[in-house]
Amino acid sequence: MNAVLKEIPPSSRVNHFLATPKKLLINGKWVTAASGKTFEVTNPATGAVIAHVAEGDKADVDAAVQAARKAFESAPWATMTSSDRSKIIWRIGELILQHRDELAELESLDNGKPMAVAKAADVPLAADIFQYMAGWCTKIEGKTIPLSVLYTPGVQYHSYTRPEPIGVVGQIIPWNFPLLMAAWKLAPALATGCTIVLKVAEETPLSALRLGEILQEAGLPPGVVNIITGFGETAGAALAAHPGVDKVAFTGSTEVGRLIVKAAAKDLKHVSLELGGKSPNIILKDADLETAIPGAASAIFFNHGQCCCAGSRLYVQKGIFDKVVDGVASYAKAIKVGPGLDPATEMGPMVSEIQRNRVAGYLEAGKQEGARAVAGGKAREGAGYFIEPTVFVDTRPHMKIIQEEIFGPVVAAIPFDDMDDKLVSAANDSIYGLAAGVWTRDVSKAHALAAQLKAGTVWVNCYNIFDAALPFGGYKQSGWGREMGEAVLENYLSTKAVTIRL
């Protein structure tokens, strides 16, 4: 690990934002928590406190849900034309881009990721999903259905469907892509005409709060989006179980996803889930290794490995195994690790001390179970929550580092003999099914493997390719429903059938 320790102070604009009280957005107003409590937000590169944020809980969630219900059922949102709604959503995207530098800096300071990455990926992708979804506002259509009612011969009917907003939506987002996950959730819900209570991750609330200001600047009516900061055990649980919420959308761990389902089951809320992953990344011996090796490194080390679709199980065909492992390990050793605001940084810290310790625990478990680290293998001593980019070999299928989601920059390289049922079985041997990668020059092999892998996304000769038009979600315990694309609209719509006797 090539450590970069240079710490860069925040800009004056971001310092001003951090210095102002961080409140809850409820019914178009910034308010303190009902309890008066706040909690600390820290910079994961140093562990230093950078802000204090209102600690919302059940009372605040209740006020936010009431505001969202009122906004859903009354003007101006309830009566707004789809064209006017589209213009507001498009404007949100424009404003995000106008504030690109500030948002990227906040994301880096709060989450730890390199500012250059946030500026190139997180912020523009957040803007893009709003502008993509703005186009759907005027294209959500029903259809007419010809009827042949056998028990009313000779009677004519006019039947049609109406896709209608599902209502008040509770959305709970994670800390790995704070701004982008907020955008993925908010944009389609707004496009369909829903109203929202957004509960942001307690580790990374800052960019979502700044986004709340942007929503207001764009002209979003009061109560349409309400933003709650607080802890999962209190605010998140209250939102998932609230009887005034019609639907819950959650992105996060599979473990918490199960709790969301239990909370929502009491009154049978609609639920969509984007959960964990343990994605296989397969390199066949005919692959272009000049592309596959850096691609495999990026698949696991992007965003510090704090990526639900990270290619954390690297299957490499025998004959090229040593060359691929050496190549990925060389990339790992060369990565410059340091504070996200330093332009030289290529990988920042884990988001929190808890996450750093969790990943370090997996590193030790891997070694104790017999795996060998050919790069990295430990946490960095001193300030900040840094983990060395790590490559393991000599693994076995039952090991924790093979079976469990680590959510850190840790990959296990696994040799295989042939592209056969045994390889497919090993790749699919997981409770998860979020993503997979295949590297080969043979298009027939690519199609064959893509068809057999139990994953919601399969990348061929690429990895981590996202677009607002491309649906994203998982099989098995990686979730229910899809994010992005036309498919995500189903999460926020109910279909009404209307039949008129003529």
Q: What percent of the chain has pLDDT over 90?
A: 97
Catalytic residue, chosen from 137, 194, 307, 308, is 308
Q: What's the chain's average pLDDT?
A: 97
Q: How far is CA 483 from CA 208, 384, 403, in A?
A: 18, 33, 25
Helix, strand, or coil (residue 146): coil
User: Does 327 score more than 70 pLDDT?
Assistant: yes
φ, ψ dihedrals at 159, nearest 5°? -120, 140
**Cβ atoms within 10 A of the Cβ of 264, count?**
20
User: Does 1 score more than 60 pLDDT?
Assistant: no
User: Does 279 score more than 80 pLDDT?
Assistant: yes
Q: What is the identity of the amino acid at 394?
A: D
User: Does 439 score more than 70 pLDDT?
Assistant: yes
Per-residue pLDDT, 381 = 86
Annotated catalytic, 274?
yes
Confidence of residue 250 (pLDDT cuts 50, 70, 90): very high
Annotated catalytic, 255?
no
Catalytic residue, chosen from 55, 203, 274, 483, is 274
User: Does 3 score more than 90 pLDDT?
Assistant: no
Q: Which residue has the tokens 């929502």?
A: 264
Burial level of 231, CB count in 10 A (0-12/13-18/19+)?
middle
From the list 61, 460, 480, 125, the residue with the least C-alpha distance to 299 is: 460
Q: What is the identity of the amino acid at 198?
A: L
User: Does 440 score more than 90 pLDDT?
Assistant: yes
CA distance 369 to 379: 18
Per-residue pLDDT, 8 = 81
Do you know the residue count of the chain?
Answer: 502
Per-residue pLDDT, 484 = 98
pLDDT 10s digits, 197-232: 999 999 999 999 999 999 999 999 999 999 999 999
Per-residue pLDDT, 382 = 86
Per-residue pLDDT, 9 = 86
Confidence of residue 451 (pLDDT cuts 50, 70, 90): very high
DSSP state of 379: B
Per-residue pLDDT, 5 = 56
Q: What's the mean pLDDT in 46-52? A: 95
Q: What's the mean pLDDT in 395-410? A: 97
